[in-house]
Amino acid sequence: MSRDRFERALLKVLKPLVIAFLVLITAFPFLYMVMLSVRDIQELILDPGSIWPSAFTLDTYVNVLTKQGFLTFLRNSAIVAVASVAVTLLISIPGAYAVARLRFFGRRQVHFLFLAVYLFPAIVLAIPLFVLFTMIGLRGSLIGLILVYIAQTVPVTVYMLRNYFETVPRSVEEAAAIDGCTRLSTIWRVVLPLSKPALMATGLYAFMIAWNEFLFALLFLVESRESWTVSLGLSQLAGSIEIPTTVLMAGSVVLTLPIVIVFFAGERLLTEGLTAGAEKG
């Protein structure tokens, strides 16, 4: 058998094995998470090796949502995430447009500064912000947290949006200007509708940061339980012995499900090309 045929045959066997392995290591843990969240803790301790529960129960979810306060945490996380997304877009759309289209003093430097900021370790920032928020009493409030998330995401979203705005043909904007649009209404009526996929992507990014973030939530909110986010709540309760692991697994599902749904719902929209047909001839 020639080397070529041997390699092809080997790859033909290896490829499905690799794919199966990848699916196993990524999907199995999450399947296990769901399976663990719908059984009684007694069952886990008596038979830790079983994957399929012998008796299904949803008491774990009732427990985690009401008794452990996850409903409140969910509300907090939703407030933080939605506010972060809204303000991030509000700030970064004009910013990105300026960097993409307008010539002003310091345009290139601004761009560089943002990337430098992005690469700077969060733990360095965490210290002065911790001190500052303690001093002005913002520690323990969701507003302080939202501010930090916006500042963390804006450099990246400006960069993402700028790249997209540059692909919007100038001639479309010029046509709008000739038709009597001011600069702001050009952005609102022409650039934004054409940039929907990029807006979705940036919104998604800001949402993911705000929903998943842990360090700043821990530093700022740990002492005020009623403002805990879901991430912080789960991490704080995970250490306690009184709460059964299966109940906490239900909490993990509650924490994971929204972001997975949002991600995959948004991802599909991203693939739609919207500039197609905007400029003819």
Partner 1 sequence: MTSRVKSPRTLKEQEARAGLVLISPTLIITLVVVVLPLLWAIMLAFQDARLINIRRVGIFGHYTLENFTYVMSEPGFWTSLVNTLVYTVAGTALSIVIGLVTALALRDRFRGRTLVRASILIPYVAPVVAVTFLWETMLNPQYGIVNTWLAEPIAFLTQARGEFLGIEVPVALLTVIAFEAWRYFPFAFLFILARLQALPAELDEAAVVDGATPTQRFRYVIMPQLWRIIALLSVLRFVFTFTKFDDVYLLTGGGAGTEVVSVRVYNFLTSRDDIGASAAQAIVLAIFLVVFLAVYLRFFAGGEREQG
Among residues 260, 265, 270, 278, the one that binds partner 1 under rule CB under 8 A: 260
DSSP 103: -
CB of 277 to partner 1, least distance (A): 23
44 binds partner 1 per the rule CB under 8 A: yes
**CA distance to 32, 190, 247, per residue, from 39 (Å):** 11, 53, 9
Going by C-alpha positions, the residue among 158, 173, 174, 154 that lies closest to residue 98 is 158
Site membership for partner 1, residue 249 (CB under 8 A): yes
The answer to whether residue 48 forms part of the interface with partner 1 (CB under 8 A) is: yes
Q: 180 vs 277, which CB is nearer to partner 1?
A: 180
128 near partner 1, judged by CB under 8 A? yes
Q: Going residue by residue from 163 to 192, which x/- string records binding to partner 1, judged by CB under 8 A?
A: --------------------x---------
> What b/e string do you get for 100-116 counting C-beta neighbours within 10 Å, with b at 16 or more?
bbeeeeeeeeeeeebee
Site string for partner 1, 79-118 (x = CB under 8 A): -----------xxx-xx-xxx--xxxx-x--x--xx--x-
Q: What is the nearest approach in angstroms of partner 1 to the Cβ of residue 62?
A: 19
Please count the residues of this chain forming the interface with partner 1, following the rule CB under 8 A.
87
CA-to-CA distance for 220 and 147, rounded, in angstroms?
Answer: 12
Following DSSP, what letter does each residue of 145-205 receive, concatenated? HHHHHHHHHHHHHHHHHHHHHTTS-HHHHHHHHHTT--HHHHIIIIIHHHTHHHHHHHHHH
User: Which of 180/281 has CB closer to partner 1?
Assistant: 180
Give the residue with the Cβ less far from partner 1, 194 or 254: 254
